[in-house]
Amino acid sequence: MPQAMRVSAIPLVILGVAALLGGCGGTTATPAAAPPTTATRPIDPMLSIAIAGPLMSDQQLSHLANQDAVRPPDLPMSAPIPPIDVVPAGPIPAVAPLPDPAPGACRTCTIARGALTLGALAERLGDPVASACAPALRYSAVWATRMPPDVPLPASARVIEAAGSDGPTCHLRAIAYGAAAPPAPFLASEYARLTRAGFGVTYQVADGLQVLTASRARDGGAITLFARDAGGMTDVRLIVTGAN
């Protein structure tokens, strides 16, 4: 190549590089504008309470916690929602032991095992007042405080659930509670208490379920108490009709 052509090619190269650098040094592209935000949906207050609230626990199963643990827990077990104290705690009074169970099949035991709710238990019990009033049951812990004056809940009771209904011909209480005592002394105390209140009481047992069936002629009151062992405590279902 002639010398003159090599010299003239150098400015062309320089101009090409300058053009490339000029393209790189242009104005920066403006980023796309963010899409407009949508309006915030209002938060349901009940949903917020449910999410932020403490977890519920089954008081009847608390005694089973950590029974298969390799080592004991670091802290004592505690329930986020404490049981409802209707009456103050107190010792079980010393009374005579329970009589021998009445002979024959325990029909009420079979009914209790097939009833999943207090309402179903009251309706299937066979008491005409309970069967008629069961559809009107309303659930509230306050019903546990409206027991007949001479047979209130025992001092060891810790209410789990309560329901009731009142009307001209309808007085029904259905209560589930735990008693802080083993079944034997607890049932013996309840047997003696119902007897002192003028009830005739029958005691029956079937497949781990113990039942006190009580009736009183003067006011037509009837009480059926179902009890089972719950790890040294007593799990109770109580149906009360007529007595007021």
- Provide the CATH number for the domain around residue 143: 3.40.1000
Asked, for residue 236, whether it belongs to a domain, the answer is yes
Q: Inform me whether the pLDDT recorded for 57 exceeds 60.
A: no
| Share of residues in the chain with pLDDT > 70 (%) | 62
Q: What is the pLDDT of residue 115?
A: 83
In the predicted model, is pLDDT for residue 87 greater than 50?
no
E strands, the chain, in order: 138-139, 157-167, 170-179, 200-206, 209-215, 222-230, 233-241
At 65 the pLDDT is 56
Give percent of the chain with pLDDT exceeding 90: 30
Q: How many domains does the chain have?
A: 1
Phi, psi torsion values for 118, nearest 5 degrees: -65, -40
pLDDT of residue 93: 66
* Position 67 confidence tier, pLDDT thresholds 50, 70, 90: low
Report if residue 223 sits inside a domain: yes
Look up the domain containing 191 and give its range.
106-244
In a domain, 12, yes or no: no
181-224 per-position pLDDT tens digit? 889 999 999 999 999 999 999 999 988 899 999 999 988 899 99
Amino acid at 203: Y
- What pLDDT sits at residue 51? 74
Task: Give the C-alpha separation, 194 to 216, whole Å.
Answer: 10
Q: Global pTM?
A: 0.62
Q: Read off the pLDDT band of 7 (50, 70, 90).
A: very low
Residue 244 within any structural domain of the chain: yes
Residue 35 lies in a domain: no
Q: How far apart are CA 206 and CA 194, in angstroms?
A: 21
